[in-house]
Copies of this chain bind each other. A is one copy, B any other.
Amino acid sequence: MTSFNISELNSLEKRHRITLVNSVAGFKSANLIGTRSAAGVENLAVFSSVIHLGSDPPLIGFITRPSKVARHTYRNIIETGVFTVNHITSALRESAHQTSARYDSEISEFEACNIPQEYLNDFAAPFVRESPVRLACTLEDDIHIPANDTRMIVGRIQHIHINDGLVKADGYLDLVEAGVVAISSLDGYHAVAEPVRYAYAKPDKPVRPLSDD
């Protein structure tokens, strides 16, 4: 077993430590967040911190660090109150990673990274046209995390757009059929295998795989 206590972690070379610590929570979601500034400049950025917060109301959250460097996504959301979440597929992953480059604020990553955008239902933020699962979100809250001066943006889902055939009879969204990837550490993009799904667990009997999946 390889172990690192806090002082051993702190003594690692900086990039090495960042790569390791970014790995240790496990696999992460892979999304492109689309925004548009009040002045009309579009922005698109890869995020691996989007999480489910609740179903009623439907809420998601993600982490950003606006104070450290210019964060156009954060500024645009605060200015306009809207953003889109677009799942990254194997076909999109290379151009999605390219959005992490530090483009100037007047540059649209949709154009610079050659990712076609789309507007749907008069929603003010742009979507990624080729993404199979897309959420239109409004800003619900902006929560400060004092421990490292980051923020959690809480978004309320207003509209869900999913390619046909991906939602199963029980509401399960087939992310594998959609070609959606998972992220590891800072730069690993993974295809994902078919799941084993389990029935609702009860204390008095062993859990079983769902039979109708």
Which residues of A line the B interface, CB within 8 A? 1-6, 9-10, 12, 15-31, 48-61, 63, 65, 85, 87, 93-94, 97-104, 107, 112, 121, 133, 135, 140-141, 143, 145-148, 150, 152, 154, 156-164, 166-167, 170-173, 175-176, 180-182, 184-185, 187-203, 206-207, 210
Contacts and interface: CB of A to CB of B under 8 A. Distances in A.
Oligomeric state, in copies:
2
Q: Which of A16, A57, A103, A187 has the most CB of B within 10 A?
A: A187
16 contacts: A5-B158, A15-B171, A19-B171, A19-B172, A20-B172, A21-B157, A23-B175, A25-B31, A26-B31, A27-B175, A51-B51, A51-B63, A54-B147, A100-B201, A104-B203, A182-B192
A24 B161 contact: no
Nearest to A168: B19
B53 A2 contact: no
A74 to B, nearest CB: 16
Contact of A51 (B25, B171, B185, B203): B25
Given A27-B30, A148-B53, A94 B198 contact: yes
Nearest to A85: B25
Contacts of A22: 52, 55
A188 B170 CA distance: 13
A25 B15 contact: no
A58 B25 CA distance: 11
A24 to B, nearest CB: 6
A59 B148 contact: yes
Contacts of A166: 2
Contact of A56 (B17, B156, B158): B17
Contacts of A163: 1-2
Contact of A29 (B27, B85, B145, B195): B27
